Structure 1
């Protein structure tokens, strides 16, 4: 039996792309284009789009109610699209995400968004553990350089790790939003 599909877009908020004093996300324009393309294709295929929005505490770049907390206008939800607020890297922990997906019969997830080594990684692993079929959009998640690795190395490393058991890792342009044909 085919399992309904959803695109889950994690933490694509203004604070991730436009925070004064914080370096821009490497390849941020390309990242936004990839996520925009996924959202456009999902909407065109009548696939559920879920926007996960991190609510940071006081002083955090994603502090709830601030400009940084708002979802980037290029990938913002349309009226009626699901927005799930979270306070941890796990999009399922203490949120309504699982219940919302279950109520729609969704068992297949495509993941994209920010930040590769935190919220994308944690949500991908958790989704797998909960029994979802997961696809990670290889070029539609991003992060910043850290002391040891470049952002590109972090993304490549997570694509490799997630692809070894947690998710199918596929370039965004190759992701199909059609349900698989059952034999």
Structure 2
């Protein structure tokens, strides 16, 4: 068995005081930290993906800012891969696919931020690339959205996206995932 943990965009701007605070980011970050600790204690591979925004007019994850830094609760250690992306999909224009092919995981455990954007696109891409995906739903966070005159609370956005992503990944809790690790 060779699971790999993929932590996506767990960066300061998504936490309280950041430029794009997400609902439940502190709790989700704590669950991601639990996963990270479990993988590290078993000496299993971990990959961090960090978004740096290069799009004109961007308001968060700006290059060289503290907000673009990985959150201290999941800081990479020596030997853990860190890939920088500029698009929601963690595979687009990054070495992630090549790295995963080398590791040849039997399971790709995914956790991270902005469930409705970067987690959604990354999980769907991973599934399309034939990875067996497990999404730690409680180690992800999102924000409230609006469509026309309809306000959609963050809790509903989170539930809807986790429900939809269950077609591409097994959605589970961090604790359950940790308990299932070899």
Q: Common fold, TM-score beyond 0.5? A: yes
Q: In the TM superposition, what is the alpha-carbon distance from 1:51 to its structure 2 partner?
A: 0.5
Partner of 2:181: 177
Matched pairs, number:
174
Q: In the TM superposition, what is the alpha-carbon distance from 1:18 to its structure 2 partner?
A: 4.3
Q: Distance in 1 between matches of 2:132 and 2:67?
A: 31
Map Cα deviations across residues 23-80 of structure 1 (whole Å, 9 max, x no partner): x422222111111111111111211111100010265310122111110111110111
2:38 maps to 1:41: yes
Distance 1:71 1:20, change over 3 A: closer
RMSD after superposition? 1.5
Map Cα deviations across residues 139-179 of structure 1 (whole Å, 9 max, x no partner): 1111111122111111111111111x20001111111222x
More deviation in 12-21 or 150-159? 12-21
Partner of 1:181: none
2:149 maps to 1:152: no
More deviation in 55-64 or 97-106? 55-64
SS at match of 1:111: strand
More deviation in 72-81 or 128-137? 72-81
Please list every run of 5 or more consecutive structure 2 residues that lacks an aligned counterpart in the other structure: none
Partner of 2:47: 50
Partner of 2:76: 77
Runs of 4+ aligned residues of structure 1 deviating over 4 Å after TM superposition are 18-22
Partner of 1:123: 122
SS at match of 2:139: strand
Q: Distance in 2 between matches of 1:157 and 1:80?
A: 36
TM alignment of 1:93-108, pairs within 5 A: 93-108=92-107
Q: Distance in 2 between matches of 1:60 and 1:107?
A: 37
